[in-house]
């Protein structure tokens, strides 16, 4: 499972002209599910996202987590994160999970996250328009 996290001042997702999710300060997570992923890996990635220390403490150091700050989480499914880009100029997607597994794990991830923080989301499999104000910019690639 792959997560690309971005520290944001705000972020939103629009599908067919309708805002499906929006947050203020927090983390925008682009979530990529791979073929061999399980609920246990989703739990591990969620724990990492929620506890990753990317917010400033009183001294301005990145030493506080999403949980420490009480900020929000916006989760957007992003199967292209699982792309194989090692050869040529066209990505391959053989590592990406089949849509049914990916949707199941995406929904599981959202349910688990919502139990701990204010969580918003995009719509699985939709053509989404994602807007964000990257704070920093601060962006990290997490993989479990």
- What residues act catalytically? 78-80
In DSSP terms, 128 is beta-bridged to 15
SS3 123: coil
- CA-based nearest residue to 101, from 125, 119, 120, 126: 125
Q: Look up tokens 């917010």; give the residue.
A: 55
Evaluate whether 86 touches 69 at the Cβ level (below 8 Å). no
Neighbours of 118 (CB within 10 A): 15
């Amino acid at each position: 499972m792959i997560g690309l996290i971005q520290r944001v001042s705000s972020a939103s997702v629009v599908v067919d002209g309708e805002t499906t999710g929006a947050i203020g300060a927090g983390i925008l997570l682009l979530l990529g599910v791979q073929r061999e992923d399980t609920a246990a890996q989703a739990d591990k990635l969620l724990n990492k996202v929620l506890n990753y220390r990317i917010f400033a403490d009183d001294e301005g150091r990145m030493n506080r987590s999403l949980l420490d700050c009480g900020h929000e989480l916006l989760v957007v499914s992003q199967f292209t994160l699982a792309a194989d880009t090692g050869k040529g100029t066209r990505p391959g997607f053989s590592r990406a999970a089949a849509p049914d597994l990916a949707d199941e794990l995406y929904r599981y991830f959202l349910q688990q996250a919502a139990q701990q923080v204010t969580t918003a989301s995009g719509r699985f499999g939709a053509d989404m328009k994602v807007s964000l104000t990257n704070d920093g910019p601060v962006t990290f690639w997490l993989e479990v």
